[in-house]
Amino acid sequence: MIHGKAIARVMGILMLLVGVLMLPGAAFSYYYGSSDLLALLGSSAISILSGLAFFFAFKEDKDGIRKREGYLIVALTWVVMAIFGMMPYIISGAIPKVPDALFETISGLTTTGATILTDIEALPQGLLFWRSMTQWIGGLGIIVLTVAIFPLLGIGGIELFVAEASGPTNDKLHPRIRETARRLWLLYVGLTVLVAVLYYLFGMNLFDAVNHALTTMATGGFSTKNDSFAFFTSPALQYIAIIFMFIAGTNFTVIYFFLTGRVKAALRSDEFKAYAVVVAFLIVAISVPIYFLGDSGVEEAFRKTAFQIISMITTTGFVLDDYTAYHEGITLIFFMFLFFGASAGSTSGGIKFVRHLTFFKNSYLEFKRIIHPRAIVPLKINGDRVTGKIITSIMNFLLIYLMVFVFGSIFLSFMGYDIITSFGAVATSLGNVGPAIGGVGPEDSWNFFNPAAKIFLAFLMLLGRLELFTILVLFTPYFWKAN
């Protein structure tokens, strides 16, 4: 039996949180005298009152929350936040239709960053700020989930690599999960403030600095500008974004180790090393053709390439240039980036390096096993042996991810979109990246999709953000059968 009361109480807390976090947007709205003040205050009031009602109507469950409720809570968390989160768009009339408002909100909360807006700058400041805030909330949510909830649920085989970048017993970030989660979200808040200050110091106005700080650390990619980050032509600002997108794509535990001087512990993370090395390699390798194909100087070609690669691989999705305009081969490489994802335990979406790393290492060892069938050839990550169960689980995740991509693309193409657009939209939704290829290139609005397609793509964003299994398991009979 599923304990509905415990779930309802948690949802109440979430509504409260959403309502409270709408207030900074209202403050900006008041400051700028923009037209959306009442819509934000009203939405905030509704959310807070609903939250209080749910919280007091449902008492804490004596049994606490078990695994099965955990899945439902995780899925419902995003749904409830989306329903309350889209109210300001609808009430203000800025995005009057529900599928559009829902798409924009889920694209925000899942830190995807695809937009149905065709003129972002026409949105009043209060809503613009709330839009960025949805991404920051989503980033916060995923950090808490990854540390506190996913290990409990066992999702896609990466749970072991998240909190314990440094081995099984020593050097744990902190024994108590609640404390770990608190430290990591403090880190998240601190880094957001830091990058906001830097953006401000190097030339953005306060509003843009705060907005872009929120969506940088969330690897979200929403911008207050129609041209996205290309609006900010200052190389210094672009380098700041490059560095902080990279940081936002790093496992927060690893960042914590670095900041507290435990460099050795941080460098025990094979995922971090693979992430750093692969990103560095790709920047060098792709800067060269982009330098020769484009008409910018060496530094600019390097900066543009670094920005775009890191923006895609960390699943941030800030846009500096139309990367589909260089060459079919480059376009295809950027399409492939939609399947990367940065680190587990960061705010980035997608498949993530630790899964790729496990697969690549294991594949290579598989050849050794073919040649020496009787030898025992263990796979090690972070110095520890990875069990066959985890390897299977990770390969299964990879294959199901690709299967969802394929079936999703077929489904979308049957709604009338061409193959490349279908591939691009599905891959980028599932990977929570934002820009893609085809009709959803880096400079395109997603407004042309029909309402059903928008809902479907929003569903894929949710599926990707919650590591597939959290959602998919709800569709199996195993979940609903009595224990």
Binding residues: 111-112, 220, 315-316, 432-433
Smallest separation, CB 428 to K ion (Å): 8
Of residues 401-430, those binding its own copies (CB under 8 A): 402, 406, 409-410, 413-414, 416-420, 422
Q: Measured from the CB atom, is 325 or 410 closer to its own copies?
A: 410
Of residues 452-481, those binding its own copies (CB under 8 A): 469, 472-473, 476, 478-479
Smallest separation, CB 7 to K ion (Å): 28
- Please report whether residue 367 would count as binding its own copies according to CB under 8 A: yes
Query: How far apart, in whole angstroms, are the C-alpha atoms of residue 234 and residue 245?
Result: 17
The contact mask relative to its own copies for 51-90 (x = CB under 8 A, - = no) is ----------------xx----------------------
Of residues 145-204, those binding its own copies (CB under 8 A): 153-155
Place of tokens 């407004």: 447
Give yes or no for a contact between 68 and 22, defined as CB atoms under 8 angstroms apart.
Answer: no
Q: Measured from the CB atom, is 255 or 463 closer to its own copies?
A: 463
Give yes or no for a contact between 313 and 435, defined as CB atoms under 8 angstroms apart.
Answer: no
Q: Measured from the CB atom, is 124 or 220 closer to K ion?
A: 220
- Please report whether residue 350 would count as binding K ion according to CB under 5 A: no
Q: Measured from the CB atom, is 134 or 315 closer to K ion?
A: 315
Q: Per-residue DSSP letters for 414-457?
A: HTT--HHHHHHHHHHHHTT----SGGG-TT--STTS-HHHHHHH
The identity of residue 15, as a single letter, is: M
- Please report whether residue 482 would count as binding its own copies according to CB under 8 A: no
Query: How far apart, in whole angstroms, are the C-alpha atoms of residue 243 and residue 213?
Result: 12
Residue 317: contacted member of its own copies, K ion, none (CB under 5 to 8 Å, by partner type): K ion
Which residues belong to the annotated binding site for K(+)? 111-112, 220, 315-316, 432-433
Give yes or no for a contact between 150 and 70, defined as CB atoms under 8 angstroms apart.
Answer: no
Smallest separation, CB 11 to K ion (Å): 25
Give yes or no for a contact between 86 and 93, defined as CB atoms under 8 angstroms apart.
Answer: no
Query: What is the three-class DSSP state of 292?
Result: helix
Residue 113: contacted member of its own copies, K ion, none (CB under 5 to 8 Å, by partner type): K ion
* Residues near 303 by beta carbon (within 8 Å), at least 6 away in sequence: 235, 238, 239, 242
Of residues 316-335, those binding its own copies (CB under 8 A): 327-329, 331-333, 335
Identify the CA nearest to 113 among candidates 395, 277, 348, 335. 348
Reading the block at residue 94, the tokens are 């800025």
Of residues 385-404, those binding its own copies (CB under 8 A): 388-389, 391-393, 395-396, 398-400, 402
Q: Measured from the CB atom, is 113 or 464 closer to K ion?
A: 113
Element housing 386 (H / E): strand 384-386
Query: How far apart, in whole angstroms, are the C-alpha atoms of residue 1 and residue 466?
Result: 23
Query: How far apart, in whole angstroms, are the C-alpha atoms of residue 386 and residue 306?
Result: 33
Query: How far apart, in whole angstroms, are the C-alpha atoms of residue 318 and residue 429?
Result: 15
Give yes or no for a contact between 135 and 141, defined as CB atoms under 8 angstroms apart.
Answer: no
Q: Measured from the CB atom, is 54 or 337 closer to K ion?
A: 337
Smallest separation, CB 277 to K ion (Å): 23
- Please report whether residue 249 would count as binding K ion according to CB under 5 A: no
- Please report whether residue 424 would count as binding K ion according to CB under 5 A: no
The contact mask relative to K ion for 299-318 (x = CB under 5 A, - = no) is ----------------x-x-
Compute φ and ψ for 232, nearest 5 degrees: -95, 95
Identify the CA nearest to 200 among candidates 229, 228, 237, 231. 237
Query: How far apart, in whole angstroms, are the C-alpha atoms of residue 257 and residue 287?
Result: 31
The contact mask relative to K ion for 91-130 (x = CB under 5 A, - = no) is ----------------------x-----------------
Alpha helix positions (H), 145-221: 150-153, 159-162, 177-201, 206-217
Distance spanning both ends of the chain, measured CA to CA? 8
Q: Measured from the CB atom, is 424 or 434 closer to K ion?
A: 434
The contact mask relative to its own copies for 281-320 (x = CB under 8 A, - = no) is ----------------------------------------
Q: For residue 154, what is the DSSP state?
A: -
The binder of its own copies chosen from 97, 176, 264, 368 (CB under 8 A): 368
Residues forming the site for its own copies (CB under 8 A): 67-68, 153-155, 327-329, 331-333, 335-336, 359, 362-364, 366-368, 370-373, 388-389, 391-393, 395-396, 398-400, 402, 406, 409-410, 413-414, 416-420, 422, 437, 469, 472-473, 476, 478-479
Residues that bind K ion (CB under 5 A): 113, 221, 315, 317, 434
